[in-house]
Chains A and B, each alone.
Chain A
């Protein structure tokens, strides 16, 4: 089954404790992206990657890191989480198409930073 998986689905942590949210896709997609969803703000892009070892900042990259060592995986790293990073996070992937392909989303990770 074609899918994007994320782990964990739910996470409660404390300020400053490093964490990683994993994302994996089995569709051989080149393009992968991380979004956060906040009330009244919709989905905002954090980071994206157009292929292995190619990553770039989205609209709200502060406080986040990513890596793309393999095509299928795109982990999101919070080196020192803060309460304002409490949010719902989605990973997405698609073929690199120049903007005419829909992205497939993972099920989401709800993060709470105390």
Chain B
């Protein structure tokens, strides 16, 4: 049973436009959510996180929104740049250090 779902395997966006990556979860005990970015031949790197007590967290061009009632979070990248092309993983945890990952969304930003 996939507790964290990323239903879009891929996304293609023009440079300068907004990229929106979505993530849904089923476990209401999750209280901390993270986004990781992964380039080919490298390990995932932490991008941004949000606690369940917030509904928005912003870091430069990256903003994560959390809708607890819908069990949905999204990552907005504005403006998108070619260097943002990577696979993005959503992850969740619930009071332990175990992270449950989604299946990933491959973002391609084209000129």
Residues of B near any A CB (own CB < 8 A): 4, 6, 9, 31-32, 34, 36, 41-46, 49, 51, 89, 91, 93-99, 101-104
**11 A-B pairs, CB-CB below 8 angstroms?**
A33-B98, A43-B101, A48-B98, A92-B43, A96-B97, A98-B96, A99-B93, A99-B94, A101-B97, A103-B99, A108-B43
A94 at the B interface (CB under 8 A): yes
Interface SS, B side? loop
Residues of A within 8 A of B (CB): 4, 31, 33, 35, 40-45, 48, 50, 58, 90, 92, 94, 96-108
Q: Do B97 and A90 touch across chains, with their CB atoms under 8 A apart?
A: no
Contacts of A41 in B (CB 8 A): 103
Instruction: Find B51's partner among A48, A98, A100 (CB 8 Å cutoff).
Output: A100
Chain A's nearest CB lies how many Å from the CB of B92?
Answer: 9
Decide if B46 touches A102 in the complex (CB within 8 Å): yes
